Amino acid sequence: MPELRKGVRRGRAAVAQQQQQREQKRAPQRNQGRKRAAAAAAAEGGRPRTRLAAKRLKEEDHRQLVAAATAREDHNHQVIVISERDSDIEKKEFVKGDIEKKGAVMGDDSGGLSANKAAGQEEEGSTAPFPERVQVGGSPLYKIERKLGKGGFGQVFVGRRVNGGNERATGSAALEVALKFEHRNSKGCNYGPPYEWQVYNALGGSHGVPKVHYKGKQGDYYVMVMDMLGPSLWDVWNSSGQAMSAEMVACIAVESLSILEKMHSKGYVHGDVKPENFLLGQPSTPQEKKLFLVDLGLATKWKDSSSGLHVDYDQRPDMFRGTVRYASVHAHLGRTASRRDDLESLAYTLIFLHRGRLPWQGYQGDNKSFLVCKKKMATSPEMLCCFCPPPLRQFLEIVVNMKFDEEPNYSKLISLFEGLMGPNPAIRPINTDGAQKIIYQVGQKRGRLNIDEEDGQPKKKVRLGVPATQWISVYNARLPMKQRYHYNVADARLAQHVEKGMADGLLISCVASCTNLWALIMDAGTGFTHQVYELSPSFLHKEWIMDQWEKNYYISSIAGSSSGSSLVVMSKGTQYTQQSYKVSDSFPFKWINKKWREGFYVTSMATAGSRWGVVMSRNAGFSDQVVELDFLYPSEGIHRRWDNGYRITSTAATSDQAALILSIPKRKPGDETQETLRTSQFPSTHVKEKWAKNLYLACLCYGRTVS
């Protein structure tokens, strides 16, 4: 086998040397030519003289464009799916185990939620030219005219019949129709025709939903031929001084509710309720005051088609569907869509149309969705609706307090707004026939709805607009054992408590922090054989952890203080075979989800200020695991998880959010009882009461619990 060597081949050195000499002679001539060309270019309209100048000019133009885009927030800013971004070098993943080498650094996928997919952003590969004429599914031949608009799921044009048609006719006989194009390579067409077609098949032509007359594929595009409609509520709002009267908003409210009631009755939620998706009929036609709801690309089923039951609850914090400005808080948090989400989005839509602005407008950046959701949770209905008619506040209070599978009382919600509308439906600014039918069908007596009571009991309000932090403590049923707790422990006294506990046969099972003081739980039931710990001024000291991994210790508990320091406990005698951890500026769900697929499970969590630290281990003894993340204590989600056999196994919280990890153990315990408490002070009295019932502290944290 010949030996491969790096360098110039023999016999070619002289040739290379001659070429180099010729290049040196030509260089001054080329430079003079470039200077003359640059001078001529500069004289010709002020163009840049050099490549460097051109680059700088291009960067300046880019900065000006960014500044202009920031100054005018896109009102149609729609997001289909939001996922965590790749982040900077400061956030790293460290892995210990047989397969992944000690100290391996992997790219971090954790970061703020991104809100950068604007409505109308074309999918990659959708740049094919539109046909000049369209004929699909047995339709007449249409000539494509002006563009009406574009959204996250295609572009809409006016189609005019080449032959026949009647200017006064509607439906398939109309002279002009709306043609909606979606490219075959768009995300909605991964498996054939657009998903939206299925939804229109189920809903098209029902109350408030435009009818699709023809559909088919032509060239690279899937095409729907639909009824031509008029201006959107955004257009009407914009042309009426960017504010609508109370009567106009009330009419929109009741008719929107009747449209959503019909859509929900067919098992769908719209998923993107906003002013741009409500359209009126064509001007100067009998339908000019009729309201329609369009763009069904984000619609999902809330009811299982086969069983007729409500779909199961779930949460994926990296998934967001909707438009950031109007989306429900549950959509921001990645919860399964249900009917309450459409109604919350409708509430924000109505308040926007009346007031002209929502308090969370103007946020920018990769964490826009996080900031908007935080603001929504921190804004009480009273604060948001302080300049609105009382029915808007009442409506918002009802919908934000709804449960996941709760059936809305549409007739009662409609009745809230009746006092704001004129008595004669014929002269109302919006046709409200659909709403009147609901009231008459149900036989609902007109009057105010008492929103403060539910089945005779006071209804608990979840958004008070007064953020609060508390201790969250979790207790598991165990056989009688010895357990000891310490709280408000300063750094200097920590060793004293640990040594005393170890002398009494106790090991650390859980640590936590409130401000810059530590809480310590030690008991005789950990199953560990030996234990070490470190107090570090940095959050999860990498070098020390890796040194202990080399000695076959594994992380068993972590805590972080508000100053950024940390307490890490590592133990021998665990069942773990491999371990990984991540430090992130936001909750790293995408990384957690990736690790789940690799067979890891979350075994410890902590926060330091606004930073998150998550430890995941192989052979953790779990068969499944889920996350509950919220801007308050997620009581409803936890109870739903408990009902499905999950138990809380890790907790952590910042001043903004609380996160709980719930798992299904491979070995089912004899007593599955688990209880949680939220207290302003460390729950010392409650712990003793729980001990009397053989319930022992399993995990605790301090952070956000009330919005």
| pLDDT tens digit sequence for 589-600 | 999 999 999 999
Give the 3-state secondary structure of residue 215: strand
Residue 700 falls inside a structural domain: yes
CA distance 262 to 402: 19
CA distance 694 to 696: 6
Find out whether 472 and 701 touch, Cβ atoms under 8 Å. Answer: yes
* Pair (290, 381) in one structural domain: yes
* Pair (485, 373) in one structural domain: no
What residues have CB less than 8 Å from 77, skipping those under 6 apart?
A: 115, 118, 119, 323, 324, 325
* Pair (496, 613) in one structural domain: yes
Q: Residue 172 has what pLDDT?
A: 79
- Predicted TM-score (pTM) of the model is 0.81
Average pLDDT over the chain, rounded to an integer: 83
Q: Residue 366 has what pLDDT?
A: 87
Q: Which candidate, 234, 315, 245, 244, places its Cα nearest to that of 280?
A: 234
Distance of CA 32 to the CA centre of its chain: 58
Three-state SS for 358-378 is: CCCCCCCCCCHHHHHHHHHHH
CA distance 332 to 324: 8
Q: Residue 40 has what pLDDT?
A: 43
- Calculate mean pLDDT across residues 365-390: 93
- Calculate mean pLDDT across residues 8-26: 48
pLDDT per residue as tens digits for the range 386-445? 999 999 999 999 999 999 999 999 999 999 999 999 888 889 999 998 888 887 665 544
Residue 410 falls inside a structural domain: yes
DSSP at 174: B
Residue 60 falls inside a structural domain: no
Q: Residue 669 has what pLDDT?
A: 87
The answer on pLDDT for 16 being more than 90 is no
Q: Residue 409 has what pLDDT?
A: 95
Q: Residue 441 has what pLDDT?
A: 66
- Residues belonging to the active site: 272
Cβ count within 10 A of residue 454: 13
Q: Residue 69 has what pLDDT?
A: 47
Residue 53 falls inside a structural domain: no
- Calculate mean pLDDT across residues 683-701: 96
The answer on pLDDT for 27 being more than 70 is no
The answer on pLDDT for 695 being more than 90 is yes
Residue 20 falls inside a structural domain: no
* Pair (432, 375) in one structural domain: yes
Out of 395, 427, 443, a domain closes at 443
Share of residues in the chain with pLDDT > 70 (%): 78
* Pair (485, 394) in one structural domain: no
Split at pLDDT 50, 70, 90, the class of 6 is: very low
pLDDT per residue as tens digits for the range 445-483? 444 445 455 444 556 666 766 678 999 999 999 999 999
Structure tokens at 702: 């301090």
Give the 3-state secondary structure of residue 332: helix
Q: Residue 294 has what pLDDT?
A: 93
Give all strands (DSSP E) within 452-587, no chain letters: 453-454, 457-458, 468-477, 483-489, 507-514, 517-523, 530-536, 554-560, 566-572, 578-584
Out of 173, 195, 226, a domain closes at 226
Q: Residue 321 has what pLDDT?
A: 92
Number of folded domains in the chain?
Answer: 3
CA distance 189 to 502: 62
Out of 199, 226, 253, a domain closes at 226
* Pair (388, 527) in one structural domain: no
Split at pLDDT 50, 70, 90, the class of 206 is: confident
The answer on pLDDT for 99 being more than 60 is no
**Which of 102-111, 208-217, 237-246 comes out lowest in average pLDDT?**
102-111
CA distance 431 to 427: 9
**CATH code for position 183:** 3.30.200.20
Which residue did the predictor score with more confidence, 19 or 12? 19
* Pair (423, 280) in one structural domain: yes
Give the residue numbers spanning the domain of 600.
467-706
Distance of CA 295 to the CA centre of its chain: 20
Question: What is the DSSP pairing of strand 647-653 with strand 658-665?
Answer: antiparallel
The answer on pLDDT for 575 being more than 80 is yes
**CATH code for position 333:** 1.10.510.10
- Calculate mean pLDDT across residues 476-502: 96
Residue 142 falls inside a structural domain: yes
CA distance 409 to 421: 20
* Pair (427, 298) in one structural domain: yes
- Calculate mean pLDDT across residues 359-386: 93
Share of residues in the chain with pLDDT > 90 (%): 68
Residue 40 falls inside a structural domain: no
Q: Residue 77 has what pLDDT?
A: 43
Q: Residue 37 has what pLDDT?
A: 46
**Which of 190-204, 369-383, 644-658 comes out lowest in average pLDDT?**
190-204
Give the 3-state secondary structure of residue 502: helix
CA distance 604 to 558: 6
The answer on pLDDT for 96 being more than 50 is yes
* Pair (668, 542) in one structural domain: yes
* Pair (235, 221) in one structural domain: no
- Calculate mean pLDDT across residues 166-192: 85
* Cα separations in angstroms, 124 against 113, 186, 297, 451, 508: 22, 7, 18, 48, 53
* Pair (282, 189) in one structural domain: no
The answer on pLDDT for 303 being more than 90 is yes
- Do the annotations mark residue 180 as ligand-binding? yes
Give the 3-state secondary structure of residue 220: coil
Residue 89 falls inside a structural domain: no
Structure tokens at 495: 């060793």
* Pair (218, 253) in one structural domain: no
